[in-house]
Amino acid sequence: MSHLLEVKDLEVKFALRFGDLTAIDGVSFTLDKRERLGIVGESGAGKSVTGFAIINLLSKPGYISAGKILFEGQELNQFSEEEIRKIRGNRISMIFQDPMMTLNPVLTISTQMVETVLAHHNMSKSDALDLALEKLKKVYIPSPEKRLDQYPHECSGGMRQRIVIAIALLTNPSLIIADEPSTALDVTIQAGIMDLLLELCETEDMGLILITHDLAVVSEVTEKIVVMYAGKIVEAGSTEAIIHDPKHPYTQGLIKALPGSLQPGSRLYQIPGMMPNLTSIPRGCAFHPRCTISDTICRKEAPPLISVSDHDRMVACHLVK
């Protein structure tokens, strides 16, 4: 069965003055049509970089050093500039974190929407405007005609993010990559945006990759999860299975840290220590310094990602069978 998106052994490095730094070290996952995948981890884990790598939007000096990215059977990482440009914003759309920073402050909403359509399809400007209006309605923006002539700073945060989502929908993409789409928004608005994304995936027939550190959000929106730590996947499987029965110590720590999993009045749990930065990743298992059950072998050898039990579950831990 061919997947919509297949990432195989992806490696991303940053070419710095004193040598190359590995940001992503052998990441693989698949996504089928209409599937929703969550990439979870703390800041610095490499989740956003994975998202950018898919459409080759890595900021210099980042580059893909190994691996394959197959989208609808085609190898994206081998594409030329022009070929990948045709995919971006067209077959695969990306949504960024802070809608105030994502929209260009000196251009009107309509300009920013129409140009996306016209970059990929030959259409008249008025047809493009109609399409824009249609998508604005899909994201439940009130009085969309007025919005078109406005500038980003005239709209509220939640509205801006909806506009960004509308832009993402313009070309009926098969896949949306959402990088922390609700993190910069108020908690009350967050829920609305996530609900919207969920609904749109179903009605518009789209796959979703949701990149976030927020497990609560992931548990409500996605069907399967990939947990990343220091550039590697440490656990993968269906959302339900992982949330209810996390096997990797890191995932367990993340779940424990969710406020909802505690009794009222008890102390919030925190995984001790911090994610190592790229220049100082520990030998062996990258998580071992912070791990409650680490053993001698964890300090020496990096654990491979292997299947355990059932339901396509994979875990990278020496001590989990």
Partner 1 sequence: MFAFIVRRIIQAIFVMLIISLVGFIIQHSIGDPVRDLVGERVTPAEREVIRDQLGLNDPFYTQYFRFVKKACRGDLGLSFFYKKPALEVIVSKAPATIELVIVTALILIVVSIPAGIYAAIYPKSWFSRIVMAASTVGVAIPVFLTAIALIYLFAVELNWLPSYGRGETVNLWGWESGFFTWDGLKHLILPSASLASIMLPLFIRLVRAEMMEVLETEYIKFAWAKGLHRERVWFVHAFKNTLLPVITVFGVQLGILFAFTILTETVFNWHGMGFMFLEAVERSDTSLLVAYLVVVGVIFVVVNTVVDIVYGFVNPMVRIAGTK
Residues that bind partner 1 (CB under 8 A): 55, 57, 59, 85-90, 93-94, 96, 98, 101-107, 115-116, 119-120, 151, 153-156, 164, 167
The answer to whether the CB of 49 falls within 8 A of the CB of 12 is: yes
We find the least distance from the C-beta atom of residue 101 to partner 1, in angstroms, to be: 4
Residue closer to partner 1 by CB (options 86, 137) is 86
113 Cβ partners below 8 Å, 6+ apart? 128, 132, 135, 136, 148, 163, 166, 167, 170
DSSP state of 317: -
β-bridge partners, 6: 30, 70
We find the least distance from the C-beta atom of residue 108 to partner 1, in angstroms, to be: 8
We find the least distance from the C-beta atom of residue 224 to partner 1, in angstroms, to be: 24
Residue closer to partner 1 by CB (options 96, 287) is 96
Burial class (CB in 10 A: 0-12, 13-18, 19+), 34: middle
The answer to whether the CB of 163 falls within 8 A of the CB of 144 is: no
We find the least distance from the C-beta atom of residue 41 to partner 1, in angstroms, to be: 21
We find the least distance from the C-beta atom of residue 36 to partner 1, in angstroms, to be: 20
Residue closer to partner 1 by CB (options 163, 275) is 163
Residue closer to partner 1 by CB (options 151, 269) is 151
The number of beta carbons lying within 10 Å of the beta carbon of residue 213 is 16
Residue closer to partner 1 by CB (options 37, 113) is 113
**Distance between CA atoms of 15 and 20, rounded to whole angstroms?**
4
We find the least distance from the C-beta atom of residue 25 to partner 1, in angstroms, to be: 24
The answer to whether the CB of 77 falls within 8 A of the CB of 134 is: no
The answer to whether the CB of 282 falls within 8 A of the CB of 290 is: no
We find the least distance from the C-beta atom of residue 89 to partner 1, in angstroms, to be: 3
**Distance between CA atoms of 211 and 228, rounded to whole angstroms?**
10
Residue closer to partner 1 by CB (options 156, 309) is 156
β-bridge partners, 5: 31, 71
**Distance between CA atoms of 307 and 183, rounded to whole angstroms?**
32
The number of beta carbons lying within 10 Å of the beta carbon of residue 83 is 11
Residue closer to partner 1 by CB (options 131, 225) is 131
